[in-house]
Amino acid sequence: MEDSYRDSMKLNNQLCFPLYAAARNVTGLYTPYLKPLGLTYTQYLVFLVLWERDGLSVGEICDRLMLDNGTLSPLLKKLEQAGYVKRTRSLEDDRMVMIHLTEAGKALQRQAKDIPEKVGSCIRLSPEKAHTLYMLLYELLES
């Protein structure tokens, strides 16, 4: 077998592996802070989007989080059953489902307000390197 082919098949030569492992490590840092709130990481992301702008359609949330409808819809149903969001049909287009925070969903923001800082303090990158990484990851997502 050709050496370059063998090298290309090594785990350490795959861009996907450090991305995957780093993503798992970073999202895992959220667990001790989200667990007391009864939230998963993906649910937390939905809240971040809704705390930024309440009253979005399911499609808009899917776009913001780069998730498909099949992943997001069951999650939103669980959040509605827990009393955090209300799902309603759009008045303009009854095919669209709109998501609004309830008072409990809004109150959760106050409980979660320290999470970004706590998780950020666990990541040992200089602010400059963190910014560079952020920019590179978004560049990768857009390519």
Average pLDDT over all residues of the chain: 94
| Whole-number pLDDT of residue 139 | 95
Of 25-34, 39-48, 70-79, 119-128, the poorest mean pLDDT is in 119-128
pLDDT digits (tens, 9 = 90+) for 113-131: 999 999 999 999 999 999 9
Q: What is the mean pLDDT of residues 19-34?
A: 96
Residue 1 has pLDDT above 60, yes or no: no
* Contact by Cβ (8 Å): 42, 75: yes
Residue 27: burial class (beta carbons within 10 Å; 0-12, 13-18, 19+): middle
* Residue type (1 letter), 80: E
Burial class (CB in 10 A: 0-12, 13-18, 19+), 87: middle
8 Å CB contact between 65 and 46? yes
| Residue 31 pLDDT grade (very low, low, confident, very high; cuts 50, 70, 90) | very high
Cβ-proximal residues to 100 (8 Å cutoff; 6+ apart), any chain: 54, 55, 85, 86, 88
Provide the pLDDT for residue 18: 95
Q: How much is the pTM?
A: 0.89
